[in-house]
Chain A
Amino acid sequence: MGMTITEKILANHAGKTSVAPGDNVWVDVDVLMTHDVCGPGTIDIFKKQFGQNAKVWDPEKVVILPDHFIFTADPHANRNIEIIRAFAKEQKLPYYYDVGTENYKGVCHIALAQEGHNRPGEVLFGTDSHTCTSGAFGMFSTGIGNTDAAFILGTGKLWVKVPEAMRFEWTGTFPPYIMAKDILLHVIGDIGCDGATYRTMEWAGDAVYRFSMEERMTLCNMAIEAGGKNAVIEADDTTFDYLKGRTDKQGTVHHSDADAKYCFNKTYKADELEPVVAKPHSPDNRALARECKDVKLDRSYIGSCTGGKITDFIAAAEILNGEKVKIDTYIVPATVDVEQDLHKETIDGKTLAQIFEDAGARIGEPSCAACLGGPKDTFGRTHGTEVVISTTNRNFPGRMGSKEAAVYLASPYTAAASALTGFVTDPREFIPARV
């Protein structure tokens, strides 16, 4: 029986020649990532279980990226940063990206990629559910809690149940107004918020392989919104082009066998997709953007690990260029690199940053910001009954701060077009030249 990419990686890391869905295996871990929200709890458990003077199994394999509650006056949040800072020092961790220093990176999933920690064929766990993002590099990656992370810190191993796999193949060519976010929201609308629970979401097809690494990361990022354990895209030239200069490690490329077993296998036609949104209060509450044109908005938010990469801002800027926003519009670059690129990338001779400022949007500092609400003084956080269109990944009640707020999830094109009208807007209205 053939195996999928995921099964091959897990077998390889469990020292086995093959594994099958449902098997419980202990795997060797290549990278453990944690951040400011879950790091302190993980460190507590690690010390309690392995001793106050315990050493992590391999300092080279631990990556700590403060990113969630960074620019706040909240004393507890700042105390948490102190805890991870002290731990990084004590354990001599080479990959601690401290806030307030030149080393600060921003949102963990994007920083992992930029800093070369995502490598094909490897196993990466992170104390964040969107760790599945790294699957874009043809690796196994998934989110875990503090206890499991502490176990890895001490042992370098973790048990995993081998997931069943679902395959989503896209043939043809995506229209120019379609972004990875539309695809995700379309698929989650199909299978529901728990449609991929315990499963792998494997993306395939020529239309997917033409995507940049940034768009591939968006595709993999939201597997968790369908309940998925991991997402994966086979590594190819695009992957290796991205990795150049970021890591010396080569990684291993795995392919799914032709006779690999999938519990779901569907081929979609890329050409037929229209811009999609998820209505409040669930990522599977799908509608077409044009069907929501009467929804009046208070705010547009473009940011997060899934919607705050440079490709997302290029898309938003194409629409905002030379226009004025009608509602409060927040731009939050995921990482420092993305922020710097806002000042380098140009359209019609203007930088993206200039285009956003001229349009009347506000640009925040690189971090998770209001994607998960956060402390009261967080940039872009909702506090009342705001109706928001957002490029983030979750719209459950209270996710962006206020329980009374209503959040529509959408692509950067759709969020930018909606910023210009104050209503949920199909971006085709603003990119006629390209359609």
Chain B
Amino acid sequence: MKKKIQGRAFVLGKNIDTDQIIPAEHLVYSLSDPEESKNYGKFALSGVPGKDSGLPKGNIPFVEDGQYRSQFNIIIGGSNFGCGSSREHAPACMEIAGVQAVVAESYARIFYRNSIDGGFFIPLEAKQKLTEEIQTGDEITIDLQTYTLTNETQKKTYSLNSLGDVIDIIEAGNIFEYARKSGLIPS
């Protein structure tokens, strides 16, 4: 596991559900075919209504037209991030677009679990309303040893909740590696 994640923030509001993360009409593509799966990056967060996309200004596309990678690799979200369906296409599309960490006030259960068990990115919990502090485009450093987030643009540091017992799965890489390490399935 990386000890530090650096990059640019993309800020969203609360209750960002899986239909906003990846609208259902796109769920038809293969996740394993490297070329076809780029479609997921292309449509990542494309269901977020314009005014809510890239706060506080809004109307900032997460992925530019014709691209499948985003210039933003850290998502800042409000409460209940990832609510809605169990589709693993949601954390997967974010990873394909280049997301390395999400920092939200709280998560919907299945999305959180999928992010960790599938090893897509690190879902962290903020202790305060970072959506009101951070602006889309700010340069961010997340330190996973001290559980702090530093906004390099605004020169401010915030503490994050520790990952708790799921750290073992994150460190292993995903649920399969974790199960192999702990002898639950043969390596």
Which A positions have Cβ atoms within 8 angstroms of B? Answer: 24, 26, 37-38, 40-41, 44, 48-49, 68-69, 74, 76-77, 79-80, 126-129, 131, 143-148, 151, 154-155, 157, 159, 193-194, 197-198, 224, 227, 229, 282, 372-376, 394, 396-399, 401, 403
Contacts and interface: CB of A to CB of B under 8 A. Distances in A.
12 contacts: A38-B86, A40-B31, A41-B89, A68-B27, A126-B86, A129-B110, A146-B118, A147-B88, A151-B179, A227-B109, A376-B25, A394-B17
B15 A129 contact: no
A147 B23 contact: no
Contacts of B79: 194
A194 B85 contact: no
Interface string B87-119: 111011000000000000011111001100110
Nearest to B52: A397
Contacts of B80: 193-194, 197, 227
Nearest 7 Cβ contacts at the A-B interface: A76-B28, A145-B114, A145-B88, A143-B86, A147-B118, A194-B80, A146-B88
A373 B25 contact: yes
A147 B17 CA distance: 20
A403 B47 contact: yes
Contact of B176 (A74, A144, A151, A198): A151
Given A127-B86, A394-B17, A398-B47, A144 B113 contact: yes
B24 interface: yes
Given A373-B19, A398-B19, A145 B86 contact: yes
Contacts of A159: 175
Contacts of A127: 86, 88
A38 B87 contact: yes
A227 B165 contact: no
B1 interface: no
Interface of B: 15, 17, 19-20, 23-25, 27-32, 47-49, 79-80, 83-89, 91-92, 106-110, 113-114, 117-118, 165, 174-176, 179, 184-185
Contact of B25 (A148, A151, A194, A375): A375
A80 B88 CA distance: 15
Contact of B87 (A37, A40, A224): A37
A373 B185 CA distance: 39
B30 to A, nearest CB: 7
Contact of B17 (A126, A145, A396): A396
Contact of B30 (A40, A69, A144): A40
A129 B108 CA distance: 11
Nearest to A44: B32
Nearest to A159: B175
Given A148-B175, A155-B184, A374-B24, 18 more contacts: A24-B165, A37-B24, A68-B27, A69-B28, A128-B85, A129-B84, A148-B114, A151-B117, A154-B185, A155-B179, A159-B175, A194-B108, A198-B109, A373-B19, A373-B23, A375-B28, A396-B19, A398-B19
B117 A398 contact: no
A155 B185 contact: yes
A89 B137 CA distance: 50
B7 to A, nearest CB: 25
Contacts of A44: 30-32
Contacts of B106: 194, 197
Given A147-B174, A194-B106, A373-B19, A74 B86 contact: no
B137 to A, nearest CB: 23
